[in-house]
Structure 1
Amino acid sequence: MSAELLQALEQLEKERGINKEILIDALEQALISAYKRNFGSAQNVEVNIDRASGDIRVYALKTIVDEVNDIAVEMSLEQAKKFGVDFEIGDIVEVEVTPRKFGRIAAQTAKQVIMQRIREAERGIIFDEFSNREEDIVNGVISRFDKKNIIIDLGRVEAVLPPSEQTPGEKYNVHDRVKVYVINVKKTNKIPQIYVSRTHPGLVKRLLELEVPEIADGTVEIKTIAREAGSRTKIAIASRNEDVDPVGACVGQRGS
């Protein structure tokens, strides 16, 4: 559990985009619990994983005191001098206490915790990705219906299209590809909850920005959008350049 450990963590970083340092920190914390659980220690310990070799070391942290009352967490100044000459009362001494078979026991104990941290990190990545896409359009595929909600597969996560955000008269079928507008991303204890819309005026605005270069570059400005989803949409636009006709830019000259 040394070079193989680092190789596995590096592979996770490449494949899932999870920072290796996050995983190492999580593993060190898990190994502290593993040590105390398996060896019945009341010591104040820390675990260090060498970032270059992957070697694991367990250290008992002992405070230097005038009079030792608890040998598990305290050490006399005379004892401390065996580990160095510059120690003073109140300093912390690190004493290696790595058990001989700790690698195997710790690996088994830490596996579940590491996987939990991986899931947490992945949820964080997904939340960051989609919270940054609020008020934007995403593409998805209708995967199923949950009562009146439509569940849309966005690739790494699913989104909910509630009844209030569905376009009246629009038919939805499983496997249909749809463009939806992200209205809210909520962080939960599980996978982030993403809510999307087919009726929000922002959907029209973003579609126009994608389709009309003059809107995308700011030459034509969308002032307001009034939308009756499934029926009609009214848009007030203005040009920031007197040589550019805003209506012509959006619908073509003379509505062509």
Structure 2
Amino acid sequence: MVTLAELANLKQLDKEKLTEIIKNSLYQAISKRLTLENELEIVADFETNKVYAKFKKIVTEQDMSLGEISLSEAQKYNPDAKIGDKIPVEMPISKFEPKVIKIARKVIMEKIRSLEEDRIIFDYERQKNQIISGKIRKIDYIGYIVDIGYADAILPLEEQVEGEFYKVGDIIRAFVLNIRKRKKDVVVILSRTRPEFVKKLFEIEIPEIANNDIEVIKIVREPGIRTKVAVRSLNKKVDPIASC
């Protein structure tokens, strides 16, 4: 069984955020079986890896719901208990009916997925129009599926250079073209055909371009065939042809 700390690390969430998600989701599911009088509280303890519900059962003649306890049962906890009293209880989440647990788990996973998607969008929007590296994880009909860290990217067929072939495990560099939110996830779209990809490669590989001593004026590319690059020097001491 995965611990709370392991789950936080796996999903790259801070403990406070994960605790908030778990507590709110469980409260949402369990509170439907109780009333405000039951004073429900959810506890998620990272140190002990325990998640449980604290609430107060109302003493009644016969317990008819989760939030009630029969008088005879209540008097086992407190011999002086009487009808209408409240008996504090702690209940492990595993003791709740499967339906409640299933609902809570679904809400938790949806909230975690939403946070993951938001983080991917935030991180890779900042890397849009930049070059990143990744490992080919899978090859299918839409193109190469590339592992770029805690997210997958796609190098679609139309963004691949003709004649270039990769196998699973190969490391590639590609241009971050777009970030697309789909129904169930977020995907980063890569390209190796765009002229901007070549320009960024020049900026990485040629210090004079990175330092703005040389300017790339125009790039004309026929992917897999030829690439023509027009450059000019912004520094009289730098020869653009020799540098590039």
What's the secondary structure of 2:132's corresponding residue?
A: strand
The letter for the 2-side match of 1:183 is: L
What's the secondary structure of 1:241's corresponding residue?
A: coil
Matches within 5 A, 1:1-256: 9=4, 12-14=7-9, 16-39=11-34, 41=35, 47=41, 100-104=89-93, 109=101, 110-147=104-141, 149-250=143-244
* Distance verdict in 2 for CA 1:178–1:43, change over 3 Å: same
Report the Cα distance in structure 1 between the residues aligned to 2:87 and 2:182, rounded to whole angstroms.
Answer: 38
TM-score by length of 2: 0.67
Report the Cα distance in structure 2 between the residues aligned to 1:160 and 1:214, rounded to whole angstroms.
Answer: 32
Report the Cα distance in structure 2 between the residues aligned to 1:141 and 1:229, rounded to whole angstroms.
Answer: 21
Report the Cα distance in structure 2 between the residues aligned to 1:106 and 1:22, rounded to whole angstroms.
Answer: 24
The answer to whether the 8 Å contact 2:4/2:46 transfers is no
* Distance verdict in 2 for CA 1:46–1:26, change over 3 Å: farther
Give the paired residue count. Answer: 205
* Distance verdict in 2 for CA 1:239–1:46, change over 3 Å: farther
The answer to whether the 8 Å contact 1:225/1:235 transfers is yes
Q: CA deviation at 1:212?
A: 0.7
TM-score by length of 1: 0.64
What's the secondary structure of 1:101's corresponding residue?
A: strand
* Distance verdict in 2 for CA 1:143–1:35, change over 3 Å: closer
Q: CA deviation at 1:192?
A: 1.1
* Distance verdict in 2 for CA 1:100–1:30, change over 3 Å: same
The answer to whether the 8 Å contact 2:19/2:44 transfers is no
What's the secondary structure of 2:89's corresponding residue?
A: coil
Report the Cα distance in structure 1 between the residues aligned to 2:42 and 2:169, rounded to whole angstroms.
Answer: 49
Larger CA deviation: 134-143 vs 223-232: 134-143
The answer to whether the 8 Å contact 1:31/1:106 transfers is no
The letter for the 1-side match of 2:12 is: G
The letter for the 2-side match of 1:126 is: I
What's the secondary structure of 2:16's corresponding residue?
A: helix
The letter for the 2-side match of 1:34 is: A
* Distance verdict in 2 for CA 1:178–1:106, change over 3 Å: same
Gaps of 5+ in 2: 57-85
Gaps of 5+ in 1: 1-7, 60-96, 251-256
